[in-house]
Amino acid sequence: MAPIISLSVLGVLVLFFGILKKKSLLLPLILAGLLITLILTIPEWNTFRSYYNDMLMADNYAVAFNTVMILSTLFIFSFAGHYYKSVERPLDDIYAIMIFALAGAVMMTSYGNLIILFLGIETLSIALYVLAGSHKEAITSNEATLKYFLMGSFISGFLLFGIALIYGSAHSFNLKEIAEFVSLHSGHLPPMFIAGLFLFIAGLSFKIAIVPFHFWAPDVYEGTPTLLTAFMASVVKTASIVALFRFFSIVFAGNREIWEPTLVILSILTILIGNLTGLYQPGLKRMLAYSSISHSGYMMLAVIAFSSRSANALLFYTLSYSIATILAFAILMLIRESKGNDFFTSMNGLAKKNPLEAFCLTIAMLSLTGIPPLAGFMAKFFLFAAAVEQGYTGLVIIAILGSAISAVYYFKPIIAMYFKEGEEIQLKAGRLFKIIIGTLTLLILAIGLFPFLFSGLI
């Protein structure tokens, strides 16, 4: 509850400062506000408090994922100053909407009632529709927002319909009561409930970008301003997959047979199609879009094999995935700024003049590939271990084939930067920018080398 209140207040404050035209104060205010939110979040650890008849639950699970999302947002905002350097107006609207979106994401991770989940998703989504189109002059941004909005609002209907059907059969929005209903009727669940369940899965899959509900992702990622794409790829993805995980871990604590085949097939499709399509992308941003799709597939393993081990694995995975993705997007910002595009060919020979940036991007890519001793490897290891423990060895083998394929495209930027000759340009990273990307890189290494600090928490 505390983070939602604090974030809402922060958002309003940001708007207020915008009216006063205090541009230079905005970012420090936001960073301070996010830090305060983080500090307010952590005391909820081990309290297991719930609010308003279990509508919101502040269990460890929610606290941990909220921390990851707030941290990610903090890092994204730390790049905002550089990204919007040339923009004159205060940008309070964009920042405030991002913070509201984060508040929506927090609702999605801590919901105990499907109504709250829906409210969270809508808060997040409507904010994102605006953000995707926030670069008003660019036609790609307009395209992105239109596509995202049309498809997103359509699929929200699915989700709502699904929730209604679930309510219709279980007579409650409350997760625990739905869980009771499921265990009472296990084996002979009414068709209405099953239909509702699948609509619900479809609705959330869209947000997570699970195949076959992923078609929006590459275009929207491409058109959205890069800073906000980083937000979509990290925070939004975390919130949505966690929402799905929360639903299944509470409602279906034993009944696998209904949904298992569906989720397994979705996961396999996501891993294979995401990775295979990723091979054919000409630019870094689209490639990262497909990479984020395929990572959704891996994260689905945690949902399918839910257990306390897989909850921990998911936490570790979202953390390391978010950090690596944000780092990659940060470098992408720099490349786009200097080159005007993000084709792999325009990254040729980048390492000569920009050793730090090239090294950071390399670490991010290697971590996403899953090379030890980086964070991405430990994340994959925990996830695969959780899945094998529950007997999904075959699924893990598919995931591993996917990882092997993904190495091909993750190495494209590395090969371009280090081994190819090209026009030598200097990226325009300020000192602060360099410090932050350096920190993120060290974080990837540290998480990989000291995984015990970040695992086994929930």
Partner 1 sequence: MLTVVLIILPLLFALPLFAFRKEKLIKRVALVIALIEFGVAVAAFIQYKTSCHCQLLFSAHWFGSSGITLKFGMDGISLLLVMLTTLLVPVIILSSFRHSYKKPSAFYGLILVMEMALVGVFTAFDGLIFYIFWEMALIPAYFICAVWGGNDKIRITFKFFIYTFTGSLFMLVALIYVYFRTPLPHSFDLFALYNATLSPAGQTWVFLALFFAFAIKMPVFPFHTWQPDTYTGSPGPGTMLLSGIMLKMGIYGVIRLMIPLCREALQQFGTIAVILSVIGIVYASLIAIRQDDMKRLVAYSSIAHAGLMAAGVFILNIKALEGAVIQMISHGINIVGLFIMIEFIQERVNTRKISELGGIAIKAPRLAIFFMILLLGSIALPLTNGFIGEFLLLLGLFEYNIVFAVIAGLAMIFSAVYMLWMYQRTMLGKVNALTENITDLSVPETLALVPLVIMIFWIGIFPGMFLQTIDMDILKILFYSH
Binding residues (CB under 8 A) for partner 1: these are: 366, 369, 371-373, 377, 381, 384-385, 388-389, 393, 396-397, 400-401, 403-404, 407-408, 411, 415, 418-420, 451-452, 455-456
Q: Whole-number minimum distance, CB 372 to partner 1, in Å?
A: 4
| CB of 33 or CB of 451, closer to partner 1 | 451
Q: Whole-number minimum distance, CB 415 to partner 1, in Å?
A: 6
Instruction: Name the DSSP letter for residue 458.
Output: -
| CB of 165 or CB of 328, closer to partner 1 | 328
| CB of 12 or CB of 415, closer to partner 1 | 415
Q: Do residues 125 and 259 make contact, with C-beta atoms less than 8 angstroms apart?
A: no
CA distance 349 to 358: 10
Q: Whole-number minimum distance, CB 222 to partner 1, in Å?
A: 26
| CB of 164 or CB of 449, closer to partner 1 | 449
CA distance 426 to 245: 44
Q: Whole-number minimum distance, CB 178 to partner 1, in Å?
A: 32
CA-based diameter of the chain, in Å?
67
Q: Whole-number minimum distance, CB 413 to partner 1, in Å?
A: 13
Tokens of 287: 């490639």
3-state secondary structure of 202: helix
| CB of 74 or CB of 388, closer to partner 1 | 388
Q: Do residues 96 and 13 make contact, with C-beta atoms less than 8 angstroms apart?
A: no
Q: Whole-number minimum distance, CB 363 to partner 1, in Å?
A: 11
Give whole-number Cα distances, 196 to 31, 178, 210, 246, 389, in Å. 40, 12, 18, 17, 30
Q: Whole-number minimum distance, CB 153 to partner 1, in Å?
A: 40
| Closest among 214, 242, 233 to 148, alpha carbons compared | 214
| CB of 170 or CB of 358, closer to partner 1 | 358
Q: Whole-number minimum distance, CB 52 to partner 1, in Å?
A: 35
Contacts of 221 (CB under 8 A, 6+ apart): 144, 229, 232, 233, 285, 286, 288, 289, 292
| CB of 40 or CB of 400, closer to partner 1 | 400
Q: Whole-number minimum distance, CB 393 to partner 1, in Å?
A: 6
CA distance 256 to 253: 8
3-state secondary structure of 128: helix
Q: What is the b/e burial string over 119-140, where b = at least 16 CB atoms within 10 angstroms of the residue's CB?
A: bbbbbbbbbbbbbbbbbeeeee
| CB of 27 or CB of 407, closer to partner 1 | 407
| Closest among 241, 164, 157 to 204, alpha carbons compared | 241
Give whole-number Cα distances, 376 to 89, 131, 296, 416, 444, in Å. 38, 29, 14, 22, 8
Q: How many CB atoms lie within 10 A of CB 39?
A: 12
| CB of 161 or CB of 418, closer to partner 1 | 418
Q: Do residues 404 and 294 make contact, with C-beta atoms less than 8 angstroms apart?
A: no
| CB of 81 or CB of 372, closer to partner 1 | 372
Q: Whole-number minimum distance, CB 228 to partner 1, in Å?
A: 33
How far from chain centre, in Å, is Cα 339? 27
| Closest among 90, 80, 78, 97 to 12, alpha carbons compared | 97
